[in-house]
Structure 1
Amino acid sequence: MGHEVTVDARDQVEFTPAALDRDGRFYVAGHRGLVGSAIWRRLQGEGFTDLVGRTSAELDLKDRDAVFAFFGSVRPRYVVLAAAKVGGILANNTYPVDFLSDNLRIQVNVLDAALKYGVERLLFLGSSCIYPRLADQPIREDSLLTGHLEPTNDAYAIAKIAGILQIQAVRRQYGLPWISAMPTNLYGPGDNFSPTGSHVLPALIRRYDEAARSGAASVTNWGTGTPRREFLHVDDMADACLHLMEHYDGPEQVNVGTGTDVTIRQIAESIARVVGFSGVTEWDTSKPDGTPQKLLDVSKLAEAGWTAQIGLDEGLASTVDWYRAHADSLRE
């Protein structure tokens, strides 16, 4: 039987961040995904000796009884909640019920089980889509819940906002030093390159690479190409996660990004150049653009002592190399 949490309710968390115990049991929820696999690699590289992961086939995080049984058996000391149902504009817009229901269940199950079995330090990962569609740029953490969400991914955003609030509630009610981090658009090895379920950057890599290989004269992208997006390599994200767990504590979520952005048109041109596509790019303006701009204010992260290290050109080249090496085994 698991021990119940008996910490008295406190408004203030009494905790000083410090280096995590490299021998402490560390559960990475979603360790096969883009972010989770990068965090796993980072922890391995940092000398963590007791990493725990379960595939979705081994543990369905939407199954509350199974999640509680897992936590009761494994008893992790540290947790990163990187598991989520994710997708691009098309997937979010087409299946809002799935994105809301699945993510709420995953989060509530994992966070409730982590609370019951006394997880010492937990990092919840959200998304920059939690912020209002027309938030002032760059977006500060205190912009949360100050305006209307982007309609094409509002269901996913609401689920992630609920996760942030649950972390804050655990801090208030139980005094546990759990934190949240909100990454910008991520990319890198292990991404989803599906034509229908991927985010913009991996979708563009696949589209331009296939066009280059087939000798196509043109590529057509959604929207106008004018929206601005910030892109962070997932290995940088993983490094930031460990840094925050060891150097930051506070109720407010922390933005994780580079602090710079480019237009979708610029990123398309860069990808075309990297993959060797020399044809014409056309834009289908009947399709939605999504949020006009989404640039994060990363000053809180900088104050915690962390800045991104992997440049966009370097990151794109390595991601294209990974995609080509794994093209035959990628998800459809």
Structure 2
Amino acid sequence: MARLPRFLFLSILAQSLLTAGCGERPETDQGIEADSTAGDALDNPSVSPGRREPVERLLLATTTSLYDTGLWTVLEPMFEDRCGVELDILYAGTGKALEWGMGGDVDVVVVHDRASEDQFIADGYGLSRTVFAYNYFVVVGPADDPAGIAGMAPESAFVTLYENGTVPFISRGDESGTHAMEQRLWAAAGLDYETVRTSGDWYVEAGAGMGQTLNMANEMRGYTLSDIGTFLAYRGDIDLDILIEQSPATRNDYAVIPVAAASDSLMAANMVTFLTSPDIQAVIDGYCLEQYGCHLFYAGAGQVL
């Protein structure tokens, strides 16, 4: 796969920066100029950096759920200040993020589909997989629950939606980690995904990120599978409820992978160290916890998954 010139990617990012805050949903990202002039200060943040010349910028591709929740607007300036590098963030579904990594167009990918991640590394595109956070998927829909799936196991709910065949189900349909989880749930329900996908107008493929998919489900009074973090961040703007709560079967692990073709392998590795450091793990675990009364994300470093 051909590597795109970086200026093409940077043109995507040349838009206004939004102020970070709990639950704010950024539309775009331009990165923040680091105050430091050099170096990796991860090992000892109190020591003034200056041991190496930094790369001009580090390009990171992230899943939309981490971006739509606003978490990266908090983490981005912390990484820049600590490492003396400008961090530029591209957000897309896991499939697209890994595609950028395969082309060497980004330095780090942060995604959430284990099978795709393992293949990415096995094919030589990624160096290592490190889990740093997790949350859960939930099934959301109209409060009056026209299909009557509230409280069911996810697999039973999917069978009910398929047999109903009239109430809309909005799929991400974008090869994202959420889309991969949805396909696993259809399989666990004993249903062939291609059969489901082509069974009628009730099944709608958004081909979009989690936030846009939630908005579509809201407009169509339909159901969708969402990570709980993005749903909580959007809850105030949509009229959907959680109808099927989190369960062990819907755990959603987020992993960071340095790209083998990274422009600066040391700085890419610094992102792994940063995301798994105790202070950043505390930030992730407590992100918006007080505002929503429940976790958008749980700290996941050190878990072998």
Compute the TM-score of the two structures, normalised by the length of structure 1. 0.26
- The structure with the greater share of residues assigned to strand is 2
Compute the TM-score of the two structures, normalised by the length of structure 2. 0.28
